[in-house]
Structure 1
Amino acid sequence: MRQLFSEVYLVTNADKYKHYERWATANGFPAENVVNDGSTTPEDCLGAVADLELVIRSRRLQDDIMVIAGDMLCSDQNFDIAQVLRFFRSKPGDLAIYYVLEEGERSCSRGIVEVCPDTHRITRFLEKPEEGLTASRLASVVFYCLRRVTLPRLSQFLALQSSAWDRALGRFWEWLINDEKVPVFGMKLPTGFQLIGQVGLSDYIQWLSRYAAKQEGTSGKPITCRTYARVGLMGNPSDGFHGKTIAMSISNFWAEVSMTETQTLVLLPHPLNDPTEFGSLQDLHSISQKEGYLGGLRLLQATCKKFYQFCSEKGIALSKKNFTLKYDTNIPRQVGLAGSSAIVSATLKCLMKFYNITDHQDMPRAVQASFILNVETEELFITAGLQDRVVQVYEGLVYMDFSKDLMDEKGYGEYIPMDMTDLPQFWLAYLCDPSDSGRIHSNVRQRWLNGDTAVVQAMNSFAELTDQARSAFKCKDWSRLAQLMDQNFELRRSVYTDESLGPGNLKMVQIAIQFGSAVKLPGSGGAVVGLCLDSDRLMAMKQAFQEAGCVFCIIVPYDPSSASVQDSDLAP
């Protein structure tokens, strides 16, 4: 760590100076960098700000500095301090480190910060506030980075204070942030903190043992997370055009990712989806021709890369620990059931659990959905919209509004989970060989960007159909919902054309129509989803699909509110 800093100084009082001087001599630390503040009793102590100012003045420091309390214990010493320095250098101001108070820790024992989630600027600093004064549980500790332009303010602050208590560093930051309005940013560390002076030996041993037990309890134990496939029931594909959609996660198909802490970071290829061994050159040729070259391994790698980038930009320091990551999936390839985003989503869930990233403070669910989309579009150049990622993060039956005003204002849309009780029986059919499923998006996006009247009106109509479908769900008017699903497909057909939809999709739609079932595309193509209210005709239709060489199944909705198995309990 020493190579990150030009000089390191230790400030102590006169009473303990000789101990630290002897320690410095024995450990190769420059003895001249141990600074004696001259105090011997609590009554004549200078206070932390005065001690800091003494070092700066006596050593004529004119550089940016980092300040860490010498009596601070950290429950996780594996975080990367270089991350702190990189984040500090990326911000136009000073930096204060914070952590989330543990259960039982009282806010009145710490400096408490309120942090803007978008800019990461600390909007308010409260030194050991009374209970009820703030709802924040973000505790600032004596771990700061100050820019050299801020250093003269230490002397200005000291001129206002008379007692050592008032010269505490927490009081300085309270004054600097609340009164002086100096820009100070916050960075979260993945750890808890204690002070040696506030605990006795027995407390110290117990505190370290508790965190050691916590680490042992998670170390080596796999974290396994599952994300389900989804079907778009209404409005798609307008999610990429400021429209509205309703989609549902289904438990028929899923992607599962497992993560175990290991010495090095390893991404394991899937034996089927990422083949590295073949029976022959002909076997390699046949598999490559049918499935292409893009398996799931690239999804894991892109998610990990983007996750580190996100945490670095958002001021979240990560523990320096590694893992082995592997995945499995039974979602059919290339039939528009969001198989790729399911792998990315499950990987993100594992990373968040592994690094203790919360979905309320660090990465809210709406932000998670946008993150997953960015992994695919920015890292892997996959054409996609937000719908799949939203429903896979929120799970269940979700109404989504992607209107331009919302997206411009918040960066994401309005996502509302819907009641899933007494749903009708939806069905799904998909092609065994989706190679002729058509180029679904065709030139529609360019036409929309050009302001093509037909495309713009169609996207507005998709939104209107979605609002009507939402009402049908509320009233449980399944006949009306079936009509709307048919209208959704016909509208899509008019905009994208039969040539773009492809013969495979049109063939499946025609089979459904023959049996009087509502039908539409649940995604980008290769599958159809439908609603048949006549159970006898449903069974006859199933047989017809199978005879046509399609796979047919009754949809089993995934309702997160009634799920009996938690992600962390899933078998790897």
Structure 2
Amino acid sequence: MTGTLVILATAYASTTLENDIKSQNTDRFLRYRGVPKCLLPISGRPALSWWYDEARAIYSNIYIVATAHSYKHFERWASGHSFPKENILNSGFSEGAISDISFVHRVKDINDDLSIVPADLLFDNSRGHQLLETLKANGESRVIYHIPEHGDDPRIHRIAVAANSDLLTKEDATDARKLLICPVAFVIRHDRLTQLEPYLRKVHQDAKQVVSGDNTVVSLEKDIFNFYEQEEDVKAIEVDYVTAHGYLNPRVTLKEYLEKWEKLLNSNIPPRSPENYPHHKEEPIVTRSFARVGLMGNPSDGFYGKTMSLLISNFWAEVTLIPNPLSQVEYTTISILPNPVADPHLFSSIESMAVISETDGYDNGDRLLQACCKVFFTHCKKNAIAINTKQGFSVLFETNIPRQVGLAGSSAIISAFWKTLLKFYGVTDKQIPLPLQASLVLSAEQDELGISAGLQDRVIQAYGGLVFMDFGKQQVDQYGYGKYERLNMDNLPPLWLAYVADPKDSGKVHSSVRQRFANGEPAVVEAMRQFAQFTTDAKDALEQRDHKRFAELMSSNFNLRRAVYGDAALGNANLRMIELAKEYNCVAKFPGSGGAIVGMWNGSDASSRSEDLRDLRWALEKEGFVYVEIVPNAGEV
């Protein structure tokens, strides 16, 4: 026998403590509203966590039986304890302990002795280990029980104790049938499991429904002793195994919880110090990732093409990571703090909420950070990259990159956080090479969040500066990334950027072309080949400092894009910016998926350059566009 433990979390009524918390409207308790009592913190950890660590070393199989109301809470708990999700069983709504146990037996086809405990059983680790070992090893049907001070536990039906119980005094024994007590734990031998369903059928035939107000209580909840009434070898295990069994009492109040239970196991927490936590970090980590402009070849980066991209200092996303202090009880936790502008959680009024929702949509930055964490951790775990997960942190981001204009704002947030995680966990570029880092950041957006994107943004934000990128199909399919080459930024002509002040969703431009490419439409396939060739030619032009040729290629890039996507997809505002650029001796193209243009002066008389750019700026601003001179960035913060 390998040993199987069943944890019953099938309360059909809220406890006094849970109800007391619901009556509190302060920040301290709002986070615990609706949380089952067994998952409330005891000395900084859910009560269940303290003894689960002991149980997992003793039992090969552990199952938690939850209700339809509590299932999600236990699923969340499991995610932080390496507990298999498939071992959390949703029983709907409980009809009693025996019914719940039968449910586990049916669903998991168990042929093993079952140890059963309530989910809010609380004890210190040493005694808990002794209790669980006894339950597993005894090989007999046994019941552990205690006499509660106040009433009974509604999750496990009260047991009518036999008059000869050795836990009762002589005085109590004279009226034992009227005395009701709570079981702390019990064991059902594997050879009795097949009798559960016949027992329940018989009980069901005899059952009567008792209606009380709006609640219907079905008398299927028969106590453990009734199931064992023919079992002569049912014996009691001394209650001394459990030192904190009083937490089982469903009438524990919030006041009692705060005074007695909340810090009960503080002595079990080893004191933290820099000596026994040598990897502890104290200083905040601040990183930035900058906006980018696609100078040539886009949008072929998503179609096995070639692109040239430039990182710019004008706009950035900044991430601040604040390590948890040694004194923090919940030392391992990770908290994402809201950004009041980019990720608002507070609105001045319902009208403000409606206006902001209409303007900015409903996507939030929290999901970007969450997806980045998931991809980072999964990759480290899969590739045996050791990271210290004992210390957690709080993290927040802020960004001034214009939204939805194709300047890689979302990937900048993820890239900045990625750099922060590398620093916090001490992971080097040797352990995760830059090309692979870019692919992993793309995975956070594309695979985790379903955001349509290409590699270009993540590559330039990983490398910085000016980069030539070759996304040849064979290379990308084999390695998951392309071939990247840093170019000399000094060879660039002066560049400017204009964008729509009130943009729409920039990702919509790609929608139909991707499907046409996947279908092998000759015009689209050939266009992507031409975009790639423009990039190769532009690289040569820059190396020769042939800015006239570079300008011609920028125009060709835009004209081809217009032919492939059509004016309707490009949008009137974007086309208008291009027209204005032409009026003032400039060439321009999209730096991303739409909403902005990147351009350069291309006149014949150098003396008119400043005047042309000034007039272009005024013309753009008059029509509601924003104009900025581009400041290239080599990748430094």
TM-score tier by shorter-chain length is 0.5 to 0.7
Q: What are the Cα deviations for residues 131-189 of structure 1, in whole angstroms up to 9, with x where unaligned?
A: xxxxxxxxxxxxxxxxxxxxxxxxxxxxxxxxxxxxxxxxxxxxxxxxxxxxxxxxxxx
Would you say 1:229 and 2:299 are equivalent positions? no
Which of residues 541, 552, 555 in structure 2 aligns to 1:486?
A: 555
Give 1:525's aligned residue. 594
Give 1:357's aligned residue. 427
Q: What are the Cα deviations for residues 354-388 of structure 1, in whole angstroms up to 9, with x where unaligned?
A: 11111112x11001100011000111110000000
Structure having the higher Rg: 2
**C-alpha distance in structure 2 between counterparts of 1:359 and 1:215, whole Å:** 20
Give the TM-score normalised by structure 2: 0.54
Give 2:150's aligned residue. none
Would you say 1:328 and 2:328 are equivalent positions? no
Would you say 1:289 and 2:373 are equivalent positions? no
Matches within 5 A, 1:409-424: 409-424=478-493
**C-alpha distance in structure 2 between counterparts of 1:210 and 1:340, whole Å:** 37
**C-alpha distance in structure 2 between counterparts of 1:446 and 1:454, whole Å:** 13
Is the 2:498–2:625 contact (alpha carbons within 8 Å) kept by the matching residues of 1? Answer: yes
Would you say 1:310 and 2:379 are equivalent positions? yes
Is the 1:438–1:499 contact (alpha carbons within 8 Å) kept by the matching residues of 2? Answer: no
Q: CA RMSD in A?
A: 2.6
Shift of 1:536: 2.1
**C-alpha distance in structure 2 between counterparts of 1:421 and 1:446, whole Å:** 38
Give 2:308's aligned residue. 246
**C-alpha distance in structure 2 between counterparts of 1:212 and 1:397, whole Å:** 45
Which of residues 380, 389, 412 in structure 2 aligns to 1:342?
A: 412
Q: What are the Cα deviations for residues 172-219 of structure 1, in whole angstroms up to 9, with x where unaligned?
A: xxxxxxxxxxxxxxxxxxxxxxxxxxxxxxxxxxxxx99779646xx2
Q: Secondary structure at the match of 2:538?
A: helix
Q: Secondary structure at the match of 2:429?
A: coil
**C-alpha distance in structure 2 between counterparts of 1:427 and 1:474, whole Å:** 20
Is the 2:298–2:591 contact (alpha carbons within 8 Å) kept by the matching residues of 1? Answer: yes
Give 2:318's aligned residue. 256
**C-alpha distance in structure 2 between counterparts of 1:293 and 1:426, whole Å:** 33
Shift of 1:438: 8.3
Change (3 A) 1:512 1:210: same
Would you say 1:558 and 2:627 are equivalent positions? no
Q: Secondary structure at the match of 2:373?
A: helix
Q: What are the Cα deviations for residues 99-130 of structure 1, in whole angstroms up to 9, with x where unaligned?
A: xxxxxxxxxxxxxxxxxxxxxxxxxxxxxxxx
Would you say 1:376 and 2:445 are equivalent positions? yes
**C-alpha distance in structure 2 between counterparts of 1:214 and 1:478, whole Å:** 55
**C-alpha distance in structure 2 between counterparts of 1:318 and 1:418, whole Å:** 34
Which of residues 499, 509, 522 in structure 2 aligns to 1:430?
A: 499
Unaligned runs of 5+ in 1: 4-62, 64-81, 87-208, 568-572
Q: Secondary structure at the match of 2:426?
A: coil
**C-alpha distance in structure 1 between counterparts of 2:410 and 2:488, whole Å:** 27
Residues matched between the structures, number: 361
Shift of 1:292: 0.7
**C-alpha distance in structure 1 between counterparts of 2:467 and 2:446, whole Å:** 22
Q: Secondary structure at the match of 1:443?
A: helix
**C-alpha distance in structure 2 between counterparts of 1:445 and 1:293, whole Å:** 25
Would you say 1:267 and 2:329 are equivalent positions? no
Deviates more, 1:383-392 or 1:274-283: 274-283
Would you say 1:514 and 2:583 are equivalent positions? yes
Give 2:467's aligned residue. 398
Is the 1:400–1:414 contact (alpha carbons within 8 Å) kept by the matching residues of 2? Answer: yes
Q: Secondary structure at the match of 1:508?
A: helix
Change (3 A) 1:232 1:213: same
Is the 1:429–1:551 contact (alpha carbons within 8 Å) kept by the matching residues of 2? Answer: yes
**C-alpha distance in structure 2 between counterparts of 1:398 and 1:423, whole Å:** 12
After TM superposition, what 4+ stretches of structure 1 lie above 6 angstroms from structure 2?
209-214
Change (3 A) 1:281 1:336: same
Shift of 1:435: 2.3
Q: Secondary structure at the match of 2:490?
A: coil
Identical pairs, percent: 49
Q: What are the Cα deviations for residues 466-519 of structure 1, in whole angstroms up to 9, with x where unaligned?
A: 000000111111111011000000000000000111111111111111112110
Shift of 1:442: 3.3
Q: Secondary structure at the match of 2:588?
A: strand
Shift of 1:390: 0.4
Is the 1:489–1:521 contact (alpha carbons within 8 Å) kept by the matching residues of 2? Answer: yes
Give 2:531's aligned residue. 462
Matches within 5 A, 1:97-176: none
Q: What are the Cα deviations for residues 2-38 of structure 1, in whole angstroms up to 9, with x where unaligned?
A: x9xxxxxxxxxxxxxxxxxxxxxxxxxxxxxxxxxxx
